[in-house]
Structure 1
């Protein structure tokens, strides 16, 4: 139970969709197609379709659960309510620890685009401080900034896509269909396609951020499911257009050989002036994803503190701004410390592991619902759960090991906390 006034329902469907889009159309849309092309060639298009199906299955689970439990915390709460305290804790722990690391990485990604050489860490720290300050002032301010960022990112993507197609003359690969498809959709085999599906799934899996804000959405039983599916549909369409456009401009080998495929594609198309626009879009996309992450982390930590899995001190809600201010300030400080002493952009595989556990718990939780709470067929939850397990198998071994260590630390932490609580009673 909160030690201050409850969170206020201020977000409508449009604001919830925008926050979801800000989570999904992050830096991934500017960079994720490179490793996807390396894994699958032009088969990344099949991988994208698989990722969209997996995301839809997981999204329906989140939507169904959010309608029944419209409170802060997302899958942490759903797991506790449907499966028990331990599954809920594992989902919440994986989300908070993994996404704190992801937030540091996203801040450094923003700084890589926006900061002069040598100033990356100070700029990344300033970005985190700014976004924590915006979140501190209330969820309405968060939504307002998200609208600005998402609008600017969509404008940059529109310019980039126009440049690609203008440069190609409307012909795949600029010349022939063979360059567009490379050696064929299945040239890298099904394992490569599944790898690309995993990479692309993580790039637009931020729709769950809407569910973590469930306590601040108006008419949540109607708004949250609608916002989740709308945001996913829009993001999926954007990723499909970008993926096809990149293959049109560069072919699969060209996409696989550049770390900034959209910038390369725009430059190759002859609109060199649009290159800086794409870079600004990528920087803003990173900022938008970071904004949504900070908001989601604060609400999940609030829920965990209310239930005693985090210190109750973090369950406080600001009496004026109606935000979990202590949790947000602590998380912001943790992200800044990580930025100061480490660069996790290449070492956050355990975050992917944590995301899969998070959605696995969500799918199993939704599978247990019945009666008036059931909105979607159970087969979707089975598909989502099976896909989570399958995608774990495509993760690099070091990511799996790091994820297991992360959860082992969490289990130890909660065990010690429960024993201390029991000794006091």
Structure 2
């Protein structure tokens, strides 16, 4: 029987493509999926939670960018952990990413379905996964061009939401003030949920083998994508919080659409629904890109079936697994918490890897990976208990699988 040969990837993506893919990953997840549950637990501390998530994300981004410049290969922290800390840590990073982000794929597909056709969201989600897996199969450049169009649409919609909210007469500055309903525990839990919204810059690192001049491109693209996303999130969060207040925002099924209606611009609500669907589809597209590349890297090292060392096979397999998750009746809110735990574990390993860099390797100030590592651990265990238990169980299963493989070799 003929073994599948590992596939060499081509470097086609420039800085603009990499930034666009990062924006497509982040803008689709947080604005339309994470603000409401975060406001429910943080109350008036929502913006503080957003700031905390942004600080941890910044440290993670800097660590990831420096490592990606040194190791420009598909797989992201799977590769960094393997090279800097040892094979088991790289494996656990890759395992956390693949499992957690597969749940994210299902969550984004369901989000798109709920906006496109309420009541038939699961059928729409299945169709979306099939269609976007096909786009990825056609090549990363086509995916990058589609993501560029999606990002442009989403940014225009979010700008309209912010302007309408602040200009409508219903916004109140007092709703942005920190009140007695905010607690340290609630703010940390909200930060953990909102971190889900920032995690898309990992996609730039996992595409490292397809980026031109990665030592220059990746360190530029990651902070630019993160910075743009933070500005957009802060503006939109302040706008909807000022209009709805923390309690109403926390219980809104579609908070951005409700905000424009409350601001006296109900005609924008259908536009917001379209923007939400497009954003979720953009996020799903970028997620499939990232998960398939990490799957490829792990298959090359024989931690996953060797047939997945071919990128096309990996993409098809990721699409099939997401469809299987959707068939189990995946829950959107649960997927956000579960994904956040897995991604925080992934970035904890990235920061620990960055800590080991030497001065001649472009070591960051030690406070950056230290703060990033501490922040990841803190936010992971501040998540809802069900998410923490599920995340620990997934890591334990991954560790057991690694142990079985190690015992056989």
Q: Is the 8 A contact 1:47 1:193 kept in 2?
A: yes
Shift of 1:417: 2.5
Match of 1:209 among 203, 210, 216: 203
Deviation at 1:195, TM superposition (A): 1.9
Q: What are the Cα deviations for residues 374-425 of structure 1, in whole angstroms up to 9, with x where unaligned?
A: 25211100000000111122112211111121112212222222333x2xxx
Report if aligned partners of 2:114, 2:121 keep a CA contact under 8 Å in 1: yes
Instruction: Work out the CA distance in 1 between the residues paired with 2:396 and 2:244.
Output: 44
CA distance in 2: counterparts of 1:384 and 1:185, whole angstroms: 28
Is the 1:36–1:195 Cα contact (8 Å) retained in structure 2?
yes
CA distance in 2, matches of 1:294, 1:60: 23
Query: Structure 1 residue 340: deviation in Å?
Result: 2.2
**1:94-131 CA-partner distances (Å, limit 9, x unpaired):** 111111122112111111111253x3222211111111
What is the alpha-carbon distance in structure 1 between the residues aligned to residue 125 and residue 35 of structure 2?
24
Counterparts in 2 of 1:16-415, with a 5 A limit?
16-115=18-117, 117=119, 119-168=120-169, 172-173=171-172, 177-181=173-177, 184-185=178-179, 187-316=181-310, 324-348=311-335, 349-415=337-403
CA contact (8 A) 1:43 1:186 kept: no
Q: Which runs of 5 or more residues in structure 2 are unaligned? A: none
Off by >6 Å, runs of 4+ in structure 1: none
- Cα distance in 2 for residues equivalent to 1:27 and 1:80: 29
Q: Distance in 1 between matches of 2:121 and 2:30?
A: 19
Equivalent residue pairs, number: 406
Question: Contact 2:34 / 2:196 at 8 angstroms: preserved in 1?
Answer: no
For the residues of structure 1 that align with 2:148 and 2:209, how far apart are their CA atoms?
20
Is 2:103–2:338's contact at 8 Å kept on the other side of the alignment?
no
Q: Residue 138 of structure 1: CA displacement?
A: 0.8
Question: Taking structure 2 as the reference length, what is the TM-score of the superposition?
Answer: 0.95
CA contact (8 A) 1:31 1:261 kept: no
Cα distance in 2 for partners of 1:40, 1:263 equals 21
The answer on whether the counterparts of 2:348 and 2:372 sit within 8 Å (CA) in structure 1 is yes
**TM-score between both structures, scaled by the size of structure 1:** 0.92
What is the CA–CA distance in structure 1 between the aligned matches of 2:131 and 2:327, rounded to whole Å?
16
Task: Summarize deviations over 1:31-66 as a string: whole Å, max 9, x none.
Answer: 322222222222211221111111101110000100
| Contact persistence 1:2–1:306 (CA under 8 A) | no
The structure number with the bigger radius of gyration is 1
